[in-house]
Structure 1
Amino acid sequence: MPDNEFDELSSPENSTDVYAIYGAEPEVLAYAMAKYSRSALTMRESLAEISSQRAEQFLNTFYFQYGHRSIADLAHIPFAIERLSMLAAIALVDESRWDGQERSTRYQDFRRSGWYTPKLQGEERARYTASIEALFKSYDELSLGMFDALAKALPKPEEMREDQYKRTLKARAFDVARYLLPLSTNTSLGQIVNARTLETQVSRLLSSRLAEVRELGQKLRSAASSPAWNVQRDRLEQMAGEGIVPQEATTEILKDLMPEVRVAPTLVKYAEPNQYQMESRSELRQAAKELMGDQPIYGAPLVDLLDDDEDMEVEIATSLLYPYCHYSYRQLRGTVGAIGEKRRNEIIHLAARHRGKHDELLRGFQSGDGFRFDILMDIGGFRDMHRHRRCVQLIQDFTDLHGYEEPVCPGQPTLEEAGLAAAYKQSMDAAHLAYRDALASESPDAQANAAYLLPMGTRCRAMFKMDFAESLYIAELRSGIAGHYSYRRVAWEMYRAVARRHPALGELFRIQDVNVPVDLLQR
């Protein structure tokens, strides 16, 4: 008998094989990876024998019939989404599992971007257009005016190139001007998501109150089911047209080696509006309205770190109602805590009443994190904070009820010093008035469409729930001197709130004091 009874079964040497994979269709690759649990074939062998038809059959059986949704996690798909409004972009990226990049308001001039216009008629359309045009005109004037103020306050150092100097000042000026960009402003973004996230994303978008967002969901589903753009096919056809590659060879290559690919036709074909989300949204909005009645909205700080000894039922009920009102979490929780266990449980059960067989619970049920920050900040800064995925985010509808921020950066000329304060206030007030006029319209989509008129300097409220490690990560990252001063202040207040409550933990933060002026020519 061998010294080791396993010697006859083991390889003569270590032979771990690692290789990257390129060129396989996302659904075929997902099938091949799933086969590891059902077959001894290598990845090369699996991909060699799998066709798109077999992948579709497998996915129809295991994904839809047996509910093995983790298979869709294995299919990652890149998308380009171009010329959508910033309001729609916020809705698009509101996924806990999402990776992507959007056009930067710091490094790009949005004067030529254009904007989204809802389906409005006559006088309503004219008023909408006039309001948006006025904001873009003010955005242009504010960026140019702040650039001039910065140039006067910050002469170019001798060692700095002229083009670098101007780029830096433009970025600083855009940081100020972005407060006047309306949410209707067109933007573009790229995303890489797995097919499971894509399916829930499409379903959620199709359930939106905004027509643009519903159309976006349809376009995403169509893009996943239609032939994808292939840069190599385009190049090969171009080479054939230029005579570099014979046309006959091109035809064969396209047919055999570069067939048209539909990235996820099977995995998104059943993505439909989510009735659970839609019905729960309506009922929770009504419940919040009945619960809070005509209570005034109390003042709240920029960042409020909530108590960590709250009953789970109180937190869940409050979290479920929070996105459907404009009250702070603390004020809403006070009312929820006082209504009694019976009524509180009714709210919780209301939010699960319409849940279907494959529906995940609403985001409000994701409770129990030790660090919960209720944040009231400008929409532009929120968009940057929104990118953090390792936390639970509950977002209230955008409104004018909380007023707007004025851009203030230590060491940088203020709007008053630049002679721009009056013009800024006039532009913001006019935009909020236009928002209220649109909100009062008799149009059935008035409440949803009015938000397009709000500038990014408008304050919004959102709850961020996380563990300690994530709170430290966000505070350290977002307090850095290269960041926008809007979210730098939020990060600083997050740190201060944690340090006051947990001094020993506060000592772990590598934080930068945002009140200390920075070198504005350093990026």
Structure 2
Amino acid sequence: MQVNLAGYNIDSSLIRKLQTESATPEVISAAYARISRSEKSIAELREQALKELEKARRSNQKIIFELGHSSVAEHSVFNFDLIGISRLVTELVEIIRFASFTEKSQRYVAFSDDFVIPEELEKPTLKPLREEYIHIMQALFNEYKESLKAIQEYYKKVQPQLKKSEIEGKAKEDARYILPLATKTQLGMTINARSLENLLRRLITSPLAEAHELYNLLLKSVKELCPSLIRYIEKEDFKGTFDVAKIKTDIIENSFDKSPVKILEFSVDADDKILAALLFEQCSNSFSSCLETITKLDETKKKELWAEIFEHIQPWSKMPRAFELVDCSFELAMSECCWSQFKRHRVATLLKQKAYSLNNYIFPPIIYTLKREDKWLKLLEETNLLKQKLTAVSPELVHYARLNAEQVRVLVKMNLREIYHFIRLRADINAQWEIRNLACSFAEYIHPLAPFATSYLCGKSELDSLVQSTGKGLTKT
């Protein structure tokens, strides 16, 4: 066996010092694309691609776009600094499945009053609305700073044993609920060429001017560097949806259901299905035969099998792929603040409601303790009035004025393997309080539906304590 490091991410300032046209990820894609059709070694293919860049580019275009082998573009990877974009537009970016994002967190960093003023409000006729928008945004940030200070003073008095960093962390975690989605942030993005193409189409299809600005900046960054990898980047006419106006309003205008968790569908006989899949992997029988065998076992025998499956489980252990055969569809109610974390689980199917309901919000408990809820409600009312005026310009603009505290509904589909990852991370003692409460409630809802398979469906901290107390993973009773 031989392993060669073909390339790696390095800072762009170092790449520029190379001063060579071949310093492009296209050559890696071109070399790897030829592996399936050439007798040459990979090293020879990479050397050839480096020497014949234009030929490599033509090869990429033919293989990726004419023959349809789009996965070749995934070998080319980019790192982007996205600076000064709104929290609203990060949702367009971070919903892309196959990419990596690390965003400046409102949970750990205190934000200054820096927010996006939509380009759509630059028209002279909209000057009064623009001024009102800025006034309300500044009022939100002023309350954010006041809440930060009040929360810190509270914890200094009632929990003096806490470290300064812990007190500041609690304050940042809760004060951010008053911040708007217009808040500017920054993030690091690592994305391959195929996913970047998908992102560019998503951005240009958005009606927001800010999304179009990001589209142009991203495209400018890669167009000359990798012309052979990015092609389908025009606005799509295909919407994949329908006009809501064609449905009677009494059907769609239901009252907002504040229930945090609602299970819609769950695979029947989930425990048996997973055992049958694990049996299928290790024998020559059909899946239906394996399922019949498992179904006939008594509960004692099944419990023994599950104990063996979970034996030696650790907090970092991944569930077997057989757990992916169990699907769960559910609806969640959460704040925009919580959604900013939940959307990170983008391998799942996530459908966030675009329409919003007025006066549905989640304030952190500390806000009621400090009796600041009236101030927050007043600001919420002011933003609701602002939204009505923004709607007249463009319905999409209202989302800039949405607060982190406002409630949304999300339709989700996850398999049980993904659910384990979600609960392991979000039900942990170190998780943010709202998403932790949501994760714990969700785990309680589905445990009766698959009692054996969900035996270790808990946060990392709880699982770590359980493993340490038992010495090895044993099925809970």
TM-score range, shorter chain: 0.7 to 0.9
Out of 303, 307, 330, the position equivalent to 1:373 is: 330
AA aligned to 1:204 is R
* Partner SS for 2:160: coil
CA–CA separation in structure 2 for the residues paired with 1:430 and 1:217: 32
TM-score (norm: length of structure 1):
0.69
**Structure 1 residue ranges without an equivalent (≥5):** 1-14, 158-164, 227-261, 311-367, 409-413, 515-523
Q: How does 1:497-508 map to 2 (within 5 A)?
A: 497-508=445-456
Shift of 1:194: 1.1
Conservation of the 8 A alpha-carbon contact between 1:181 and 1:456: yes
Q: Indicate which of 196, 200, 216 corresponds to 1:218.
A: 216
1:2-41 matches, within 5 Å, as 15-22=1-8, 25-41=24-40
Of residues 440, 456, 473 in structure 1, which corresponds to 2:421? 473
Q: 2:235 aligns with which of 250, 263, 273?
A: 273
The Cα offsets for residues 136-171 of structure 1, whole Å up to 9 and x where unpaired, read as: 1111111111111111111146xxxxxxx2222111
2:149 alignment partner, one of 144, 148, 151: 144
Say whether 1:79 aligns with 2:80.
Answer: yes
Instruction: Work out the number of aligned pairs and report it.
Output: 388
Following superposition, the deviation at residue 286 of structure 1 comes to: 4.0
Residue of structure 1 equivalent to 2:441:
493
Root mean square deviation of aligned Cα: 2.4
Work out which of the residue numbers 256, 260, 268 in structure 2 matches 1:302: 260
Question: 2: CA distance between counterparts of 1:513 and 1:422?
Answer: 36
The answer (yes or no) to whether the contact 2:428–2:460 under 8 Å persists in 1 is yes
Alignment-derived partner of residue 361 in structure 2: 404
The one-character-per-residue Cα deviations of 1:402-443 (angstroms, maximum 9, x if unpaired) are 6110113xxxxx22332423222222232233223433x2x2
1:27/1:55 contact within 8 Å kept: yes
Q: How many Å separate the matches in 2 of 1:60 and 1:179?
A: 47
1:191 to 189, 192, 197: 189
Distance 1:292 1:476, change over 3 A: farther
**Paired amino acid for 1:108:** V
Further displaced range: 265-274 or 168-177: 265-274
Look up the equivalent residue of 2:3 and give its one-letter code.
D
**Matched-pair contact (CA < 8 Å) for 2:73–2:193:** yes
The CA distance in 2 between the partners of 1:208 and 1:179, in whole Å, is 26
Q: Is the 8 A contact 2:362 2:405 kept in 1?
A: yes
Alpha-carbon separation, structure 1, partners of 2:447 and 2:460: 14
C-alpha change, 1:292 and 1:209, in structure 2 (3 Å) is farther
- Structure 2, unpaired ranges of 5+: 9-14, 16-22, 269-324, 463-477
1:18, distance to aligned residue in structure 2 (A): 3.8
Equivalent residue for 1:452, pick from 397, 400, 407: 400
Say yes or no: does 1:424 pair with 2:386.
no
In 2, Cα distance between equivalents of 1:117 and 1:291: 30
3-state secondary structure, aligned to 1:306: strand
Quick one: which amino acid aligns to residue 333 of structure 2?
L
SS in 2 for 1:95: coil
Taking the aligned partners of 2:62 and 2:103, their CA distance within structure 1 comes to 36
Could you tell me whether the CA contact under 8 Å between 1:85 and 1:116 is conserved in 2?
Answer: no
Contact 2:443 2:458 in 1 (8 A): no
Q: How does 1:184-263 map to 2 (within 5 A)?
A: 184-226=182-224, 262=225
Partners of 1:498 and 1:505 within 8 A in 2: no
Separation in 2 of the partners of 1:512 and 1:270?
Answer: 42
- SS at 2:329 equivalent: strand
Query: Map of 1:288-299 to 2, 5 A cutoff?
Result: 289-290=247-248, 293=251, 295-299=253-257
- Kindly tell me: are residues 401 and 91 of structure 1, through their superposed partners in 2, closer, same or farther at Cα, counting changes over 3 Å? same
Against the structure 1 CA distance between its residues 216 and 291, is the aligned structure 2 distance closer, same or farther, given a 3 Å change threshold? same
Q: Secondary structure at the match of 1:416?
A: helix
Distance 1:143 1:304, change over 3 A: same
In structure 2, the residue corresponding to 1:99 is in which secondary structure? strand
The one-letter code sitting in structure 1 at the alignment partner of 2:352 is I
| Equivalent in the alignment of 1:285 | 244
Question: SS at the partner of 1:426?
Answer: helix
Alpha-carbon separation, structure 1, partners of 2:201 and 2:359: 31
Report the Cα distance in structure 1 between the residues aligned to 2:232 and 2:424, rounded to whole angstroms.
42
Offset of residue 40 of structure 1: 2.8
C-alpha contact 1:86 1:185 (8 A) present in aligned 2: yes
Offset of 1:285 from its aligned partner? 3.5
Contact between 2:101 and 2:188, CA under 8 Å: does it hold in 1? yes
Residue of structure 2 equivalent to 1:123:
128
Q: Could you say what secondary structure the match of 1:57 adopts?
A: helix
CA shift digits 1:50-87 (9 cap, x unpaired): 13312211122111222111111211111111111100
Q: In 2, are the aligned partners of 1:118 and 1:212 still within 8 Å (CA)? A: yes
CA contact (8 A) 2:266 2:449 kept: no
Q: Does the CA-based 8 Å contact 1:179-1:455 persist in structure 2?
A: yes
Greater Cα offset, 415-424 or 138-147: 415-424
Deviation at 1:448, TM superposition (A): 0.6
Q: Secondary structure, in 3 states, of the residue corresponding to 1:510?
A: coil
Deviates more, 1:423-432 or 1:380-389: 423-432
**How far apart, in 1, do the equivalents of 2:367 and 2:258 lie?**
25
Which residue is equivalent to 2:385?
A: 433
Does 2:119 correspond to 1:91? Answer: no
Q: Does 2:339 match 1:382?
A: yes
Change (3 A) 1:309 1:387: closer
Distance in 1 (alpha carbons) for counterparts of 2:400 and 2:407? 14
User: Aligned letter for 1:42?
Assistant: S
Match of 1:302, as an amino acid? P
For 2:173, which of 175, 181, 184 is the aligned residue?
A: 175
